[in-house]
Amino acid sequence: MIRLENLTKSYLTLRGRKYVFRNLSLEIPGGANIGLIGRNGAGKSTLMRLLSKVDLPDSGDIITTASLSWPVGLSGGMQSTLTGRDNVKFVCRIHGVRGPLMRKKIEYVQRFAQLGQYFDEPISTYSSGMRARLAFGTSMAFHFDYYLIDEVMAVGDATFKARSRKAFKKRLKKSKVIIVSHSMRLIRRMCDVVVVLENGNATVYDSAEKGIAAYLESGKRYNAQLAKAHRAAKRKQAALAAVGAS
């Protein structure tokens, strides 16, 4: 179970403080694959950052006993002057993995990412696909209760895609995912619980179908509102033009 308690998060922009969440409280049941959906700017990625502790909330807490991964496929934490092997070692070390276990993890990533000799070259020489393969392989080498996935999962060429899907399936036997995506197909396929984010509020739906339906419904309402506002603005313009003409 993951519980958000009175979560407030704001960012300082040039035009003042902008709140993404204000006193958001939420309980997401455990043992389920979780999908986060919402329009652009609804706070999906912010919630993901808070969950992965990349960012800290202004106030409030995220309470869980489960272990959460770093964002899967993340390559931002990689040091480009170091080799792929050294970067994997680094991730092992911060997770307290040492000795023979570390060697096993390195072997796993090496086999998984299929970088050949490049595994011992600095990351700065990698192509973006190679980087992504290394990052994904490193994520798969560690066990977590939840894997955090932001949007794009499929990276690399077709064979790598197949391999990563297989590895992920294996992981999913014991672990769960938290996915941010705009792809309703992916959400439908992977998630048991859907959290719909809208205007700083979050609603939990206990089936993907219900969540997606609610999300699409709110999208329709939103579009209708936009259209209405647009029509009103047009009428006003026309009225002003009429006044100007007379």
Partner 1 sequence: MARTAFQIQRDVIYALLLREMASRFGKTRVGFFWVLLEPVAHLVFPIFMFSYIRHRIVPGIDYPVFLAYGFLPFLMFKAICLQTMDGTRTNRGLLAYRQILLMDVFVAKMLAHCVIQAIVFLVVLTGLAMLGFDVLPPFPLEFGAALVLAIALAFGLGMLFAALTSVAPDARAIIRILFMPLYFASGILFPITRFSNEIVDWLALNPVLHLVELTRLYAVEGYEPMRQLNVMYPLSLALVSLFGGLALYRLRFLSRVTM
Residues that bind partner 1 (CB under 8 A): 12, 49, 52-56, 58, 68, 70-71, 74, 76-79, 81-83, 86, 90-91, 93-96, 122
Residue closer to partner 1 (CB basis): 81 or 246: 81
Write down the least CB distance from residue 187 to partner 1, Å.
23
Instruction: Provide the residue count of the chain.
Output: 246
For residue 41, which of 58, 21, 22 has the smallest C-alpha distance? 21
Residue closer to partner 1 (CB basis): 135 or 196: 135
Write down the least CB distance from residue 189 to partner 1, Å.
26
The pairing of beta strand 2-13 with beta strand 16-28: antiparallel
Residue closer to partner 1 (CB basis): 82 or 204: 82
CB atoms within 10 A of CB 93: 11
Residue closer to partner 1 (CB basis): 59 or 223: 59
Residue closer to partner 1 (CB basis): 95 or 210: 95
Q: What distance in Å separates the CA atoms of residue 145 and residue 216, rounded to the nearest whole number?
A: 30
Write down the least CB distance from residue 74 to partner 1, Å.
5
Write down the least CB distance from residue 26 to partner 1, Å.
20
Adjacent-strand bridge partners of 64:
2
φ, ψ of residue 78 in degrees (nearest 5): -90, 140
Write down the least CB distance from residue 210 to partner 1, Å.
31
Write down the least CB distance from residue 87 to partner 1, Å.
9
Q: What distance in Å separates the CA atoms of residue 231 and residue 237, rounded to the nearest whole number?
A: 10
Q: Which amino acid is at 210?
A: K
Residue closer to partner 1 (CB basis): 91 or 141: 91
Q: What distance in Å separates the CA atoms of residue 91 and residue 78, rounded to the nearest whole number?
A: 9
Residue closer to partner 1 (CB basis): 17 or 185: 17
For residue 146, which of 230, 52, 234 has the smallest C-alpha distance? 52
Q: Alpha-carbon dihedral of residues 173, 177, 179, 183, nearest 10 degrees?
A: 10
| CB within 8 Å of 76: residues ≥ 6 apart | none
Write down the least CB distance from residue 75 to partner 1, Å.
8
